[in-house]
């Protein structure tokens, strides 16, 4: 199974290019609520509750206020075809929340007490209707070589949250109709969990929101399993606080799948030539000396504020700050020897540069 994460390469390929994203306005957006349901195809209570849940919660609210995923577990009977498809990752999510019965409902990372129907529309209203400064935009492309590419753009409209955060992506199948082994069991199952998406699995990618007004793009690739219906597959991405379990925001790629874009014959925004560097706000000299990374900008426009981000070779964000002078020193004493990537942005001008700490 192919799972490829190309975060660093995306930035390197974007050297000296202007950004273009749906999040460019950097305004707070709707906070979507993630409903995580733990169920089993043999569970009598689930068979009774799910039709009402689907009719009263999913139909009116999904893709409007909420997103939803169902994990199938091993009890009361482990012979659940959806559980058997991905035993390890299904059990890992059960352990994360301490799930002990079916059906169980987790709303925005908070385990709810059981009740008939799991949750009412009135109770759901207590979670919906909010806004989030954590901006997420998720899309997918069908690759000519097979599989899909997932692009997640992250923005910050002011206070996108901090702490022990993880970015998690999962592959979900929208609707599955199958012939159950016994009469009375449900034939159609919605938003079924299939797998995590990324080499980090359920551990998630350590996450720090970009500086306000700055965007970060993550790119992943994955293959479609033969057991999945291709036209029903999509991705959910969400940021979760490991200390509290709270989910800060969630995005879905459902309805946002396109063919792989063709490479333009001429670049829309050609790279800035070396003779033009003096005219750009973020052109600079970058020197790694001892425990300091020295930055010297070539333009007074840097005083408008340069968003500085430092990443390691695996694409993990290590440092970020706003620089408002034409010269700055970044302390690198806590960095191990190796290659690092500096990303700087003023407005829509971006510079990405590699350097080595000896």
The CATH number for 339's domain is: 2.60.40.3080
Cα separation, 20 vs 35, whole angstroms = 31
Do 144 and 200 lie in one domain? The reply is yes
At residue 6, the pLDDT reads 43
At residue 351, the pLDDT reads 75
At residue 338, the pLDDT reads 78
The answer to the question of residue 266 being in a domain is no
Measuring CA to CA, which residue among 53, 58, 83 is closest to residue 71?
83
Q: Which long-range contacts (CB under 8 A, 24 or more apart) does 328-335 make?
A: 328/294, 328/295, 329/292, 329/293, 329/294, 329/295, 330/292, 330/293, 330/294, 330/295, 331/291, 331/292, 331/293, 332/288, 332/291, 332/292, 332/293, 332/357, 333/291
Residue where a domain terminates, one of 196, 230, 259: 259
Do 319 and 182 lie in one domain? The reply is no
Do 224 and 278 lie in one domain? The reply is no
- The residues, any chain, with a CB within 8 Å of residue 288's CB and separated by 6 or more, are 294, 332, 355, 356, 357, 358
At residue 265, the pLDDT reads 53
Task: Give me the average pLDDT of each 10-residue run along the chain (358 residues).
Answer: 44 33 70 98 96 95 96 97 98 97 97 92 95 96 91 93 93 96 95 92 90 85 95 98 96 93 53 38 60 76 80 79 86 82 76 74
The answer to the question of residue 265 being in a domain is no
210 neighbors 156 (Cβ within 8 angstroms):
yes
Do 101 and 67 lie in one domain? The reply is yes
Residue where a domain terminates, one of 201, 226, 259: 259
At residue 111, the pLDDT reads 97
Instruction: Give the number of other CB atoms < 10 A from CB of residue 219.
Output: 19
At residue 272, the pLDDT reads 38
The answer to the question of residue 162 being in a domain is yes
At residue 348, the pLDDT reads 67
At residue 3, the pLDDT reads 54
140 neighbors 234 (Cβ within 8 angstroms):
yes
The answer to the question of residue 176 being in a domain is yes
The answer to the question of residue 138 being in a domain is yes
Do 182 and 122 lie in one domain? The reply is yes
The answer to the question of residue 233 being in a domain is yes
- pTM summary value: 0.72
The answer to the question of residue 264 being in a domain is no
Do 228 and 288 lie in one domain? The reply is no
Do 93 and 55 lie in one domain? The reply is yes
Domain count, the chain: 2
Residue where a domain terminates, one of 201, 232, 259: 259
Measuring CA to CA, which residue among 352, 328, 329, 326 is closest to residue 340?
352
Do 15 and 83 lie in one domain? The reply is yes
327 by DSSP, 3-state: which? strand
Do 9 and 154 lie in one domain? The reply is yes
Domain that holds residue 332: 274-357
């Amino acid at each position: 199974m192919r799972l490829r994460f190309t975060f660093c390469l995306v930035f390197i390929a974007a050297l000296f290019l202007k950004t273009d994203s749906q999040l460019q306005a950097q305004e707070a957006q709707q906070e979507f609520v993630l409903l995580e349901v733990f169920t089993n195809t043999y569970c009598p209570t689930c068979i009774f509750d799910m039709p009402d849940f689907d009719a009263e919660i999913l139909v009116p609210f999904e893709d409007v206020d909420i997103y939803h995923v169902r994990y199938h577990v091993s009890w009361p009977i482990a012979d659940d075809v959806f559980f058997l498809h991905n035993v390890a990752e299904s059990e890992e999510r059960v352990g994360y929340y301490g799930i002990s019965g079916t059906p169980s409902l987790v709303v925005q990372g908070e385990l709810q007490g059981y009740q008939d129907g799991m949750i009412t529309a009135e109770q759901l209203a207590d979670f919906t209707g909010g806004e989030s400064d954590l901006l997420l935009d998720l899309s997918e492309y069908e690759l000519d070589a097979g599989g899909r590419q997932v692009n997640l753009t992250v923005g910050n409209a002011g206070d996108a949250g901090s702490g022990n955060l993880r970015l998690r992506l999962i592959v979900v199948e929208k609707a599955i109709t199958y012939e159950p082994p016994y009469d009375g069991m449900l034939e159609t199952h919605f938003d079924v969990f299939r797998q995590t998406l990324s080499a980090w699995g359920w551990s998630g990618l350590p996450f720090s929101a970009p500086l306000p007004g700055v965007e970060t793009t993550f790119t992943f690739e994955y293959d479609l399993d033969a057991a999945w219906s291709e036209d029903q597959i999509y991705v959910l991405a969400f940021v979760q606080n490991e200390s509290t379990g709270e989910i800060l925001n969630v995005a879905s790629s459902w309805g946002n799948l396109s063919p792989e874009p063709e490479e333009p014959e001429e670049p829309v925004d050609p790279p800035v030539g070396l003779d033009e560097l003096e005219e750009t706000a973020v052109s600079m000299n970058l020197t790694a000396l001892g425990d300091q990374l020295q930055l010297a900008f070539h333009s007074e426009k840097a005083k408008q504020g340069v968003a500085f981000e430092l990443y390691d070779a695996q694409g993990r964000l290590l440092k970020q700050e706003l620089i408002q002078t034409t010269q700055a020193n970044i302390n690198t004493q806590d960095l191990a020897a190796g290659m690092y990537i500096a990303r700087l942005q003023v407005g829509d001008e971006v510079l990405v540069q590699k350097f080595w700490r000896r």
